[in-house]
Amino acid sequence: MIANSIPIGPFHPLLEEAEYFELKVDGETVVDIDMEIGWMHRGHEFISEMKTFTQSIYLVERICGICSTSHPIACVHAIEDIDNIEIPIRAKYIRTLVGELERIHSHLLWLGLAGHFIGYDTLWMWVWRYREPVLQMFEIISGNRNHYGMMRIGGVAKDVDPASIPDLAKIFDMLGKKMAMLAGAVKDDPVLRSRLKGVGVLSYDDAVAYCATGPTSRASGVRGDVRKDESTDAYGLVEFDEIVLPNGDVYDKLVLRVLEVIESVKICRQCLEKLKEIKGPILNDVKEISPGEGIGRYEAPRGEVFHYIRSDGSNRPIRHKVRAPSFVNIPTYTASCKGIPVADVLITLASIDPCYCCTERSLKVVNKENDPCLIDLLKISREKTERIRREINGSK
Amino acid sequence: MDKDEKFFKAMGDKISSRIDKKRRFYFNVKNEDLREVVDYLFKTMGCRLSTATGIEMYHGLEILYHFSDDDTGTYFCPRVVIKDKEHPKVKSIVPIVKGAEWIERELFDFWGIEFEDHPRMERLLALHHPQNLKEPMRFGRDS
């Protein structure tokens, strides 16, 4: 067998972020895949340890543009876990509402991109049309379309205006109908079925072995959803189904996300109904955090977001560990890409909805010889610009 | 008998300094017992490895593994303390949990902890770093 290599990345039209894949191929068939990351690190863990607990919530919100409320929810869960802090019931429903809205917009974003990657731009335009009202709902609730700044230790920062609830309910009515229609259309669509069925299969055993999480593992028949397992916030107070599909291929991952959107709309409507009835505070006053350690997690659209925080009783964490779902899902490519044709690799890589900003969140480079040498990307960029400018001026 | 009680009974004196919290168990494990504990958690109890956290303390380096029992929402966190900060070495759990490969490489990247029997013990995030780093990235910075 003669194996050749096909490089993908680190900068590639398919990949919105920088990462590198090396496919070892025998003819048209992929026999092995190697992955390298490290182009996106920004040092959130280390920076967080220099911030106060409240400041670190804003920091982790910026780990990812799509999961911009999943990280803060997991972060406040971790801090609250240290002291077993309870939050007001109204805050629970608001957290759940915002978290589920994020799931809807993230899944719709991925569905559109998946359509685009396989050259099916109708799906892309169709789905993104329904994503826009979701962003508008964020604007109504938080004032922002992204980075909502809603989470606080002991509750939430902003209340849902009762006057806006009828408007939100109308949008959810529309979304519920459209998503039901979309689910039917996706299941019946012969193009999607023939292109994605049986492609990039991740078996049940591999999903367990690689400790995959979220839609990636649930589409392979592995049960596990933090919303059901821990029932934090209002998840124990609302009714919804955990979607699990058996085949592990890209088609199941696509259908699973559509079905999850329908469940999320269901959860949001229940939250809105409760927010009409339940009055009261949205934030408990938390004066200080005791020494100790806490684990917080949340079911982000891509899977379990995990935060571990250790406190020494001061106002800063002495250790803040962040693990995004893509960090454990990306290694599953080793199993799902082997044996498939090269043409199927791109949609298989996209199928886990990878996020490299999240994956590489953790690093801050400190060089002992050159202290304090945080790798300053801005500085490197300016130096490079300056060098190019000098070269251009020199060549004139 | 609950799953957690069964686990602690089966592991016996391999576990020390146990801290119980609501759905969270933190406990110390010796390096030589680590694989047996991990094997029980992963294979017998069907727990999923969420990640492992490295922490530099005055008394040494700590590795805190986070195993999630998804049926009950409980976390089991075995903690291994390495006294030798200059040459930290621990047994790799990759032969038991394939998903630990990147997690251990990240710990190697940060603290220079070498995992014995790891199939690919090299940097994960700073493999192609522009400064060609020679030292672990957080070495000597946290204590």
A1 pLDDT tier (thresholds 50, 70, 90): low
pLDDT at A395: 61
pLDDT at A2: 58
A384 pLDDT tier (thresholds 50, 70, 90): confident
Helices (H), A12-88: 44-48, 53-61, 70-83
Q: Which of residues 63-102 of B touch A (CB under 8 A)?
A: 64, 66, 68, 70-73, 75, 77, 97-102
Going from N- to C-terminal start, the domains of chain B cover 3-87
pLDDT at A371: 46
- Residue pair B77/A235 in contact by the 8 Å Cβ criterion: no
Structural tokens at position B55: 């922490």
Cβ neighbour number for residue A261 with a 10 Å cutoff = 30
As a whole number of angstroms, the distance between CA A201 and CA A249 comes to 4
Q: Is the pLDDT of residue B8 over 50?
A: yes
Name the helix (H) or strand (E) containing B89. strand B89-91
User: E strands along chain A, which residues?
Assistant: 4-8, 20-26, 29-36, 151-152, 155-156, 292-300, 303-311, 317-323
Tens-place pLDDT, residues A263-307: 999 999 999 999 999 999 999 999 999 999 999 999 999 999 999
- Assess whether the previous peptide bond of A291 is cis (omega < 30° from 0): no
For B32, residues 6+ apart whose C-beta sits below 8 A from its C-beta are B91
Tens-place pLDDT, residues A322-374: 999 999 999 999 999 999 999 999 888 888 877 776 776 654 444 445 444 44
List of chain B residues whose C-beta atoms are within 8 Å of the C-beta of residue A81: 21, 24
A377 pLDDT tier (thresholds 50, 70, 90): low
Cβ neighbour number for residue B40 with a 10 Å cutoff = 19
Name the helix (H) or strand (E) containing A16. none
Find, in chain B, the residue whose alpha carbon is nearest to that of A329: B99
For domain A44-322, the CATH class is mainly alpha
List of chain B residues whose C-beta atoms are within 8 Å of the C-beta of residue A303: none
B86 vs B39 pLDDT, higher one: B39
User: Hey, of B50, B65, B85, B86, which one would you mutate to test binding to chain A, going by the most A CBs within 10 A of its CB?
Assistant: B50
pLDDT at A373: 46
- Of B2, B20, B68, give the one whose Cα is nearest residue A228: B68
- Of B28, B27, B70, give the one whose Cα is nearest residue B49: B70
- B81 by DSSP, 3-state: which? strand
Q: Is the pLDDT of residue B131 over 80?
A: no
- Mean of per-residue pLDDT scores for chain A: 89
Report yes or no: B39 at the A interface, CB cutoff 8 Å: no
- What is the average per-residue pLDDT within A50-77? 92
- Residue pair A394/A73 in contact by the 8 Å Cβ criterion: no
- Mean of per-residue pLDDT scores for chain B: 90
Tens-place pLDDT, residues A107-150: 999 999 999 889 999 989 999 999 999 999 999 999 988 889 99
As a whole number of angstroms, the distance between CA B116 and CA B121 comes to 9
B139 pLDDT tier (thresholds 50, 70, 90): low
Tens-place pLDDT, residues B59-85: 889 999 999 999 899 999 999 999 988
pLDDT at B134: 75
B45-84 as b/e, with b when 16 or more CB fall inside 10 Å? bebbbbbbbbbbeeeebbbbbbbbbbeebbbbbbbbbbee
- Residue pair A68/A235 in contact by the 8 Å Cβ criterion: no
pLDDT at A369: 52
As a whole number of angstroms, the distance between CA A203 and CA A219 comes to 9
- Of A294, A344, A390, give the one whose Cα is nearest residue A77: A294
Going from N- to C-terminal start, the domains of chain A cover 44-322, 365-395
User: Hey, of B22, B70, B120, which one would you mutate to test binding to chain A, going by the most A CBs within 10 A of its CB?
Assistant: B70
Which of A42-46, A162-166, A233-237 comes out lowest in average pLDDT?
Answer: A42-46
Cβ neighbour number for residue A280 with a 10 Å cutoff = 9
For domain B3-87, the CATH class is alpha beta
- Residue pair A103/A298 in contact by the 8 Å Cβ criterion: no
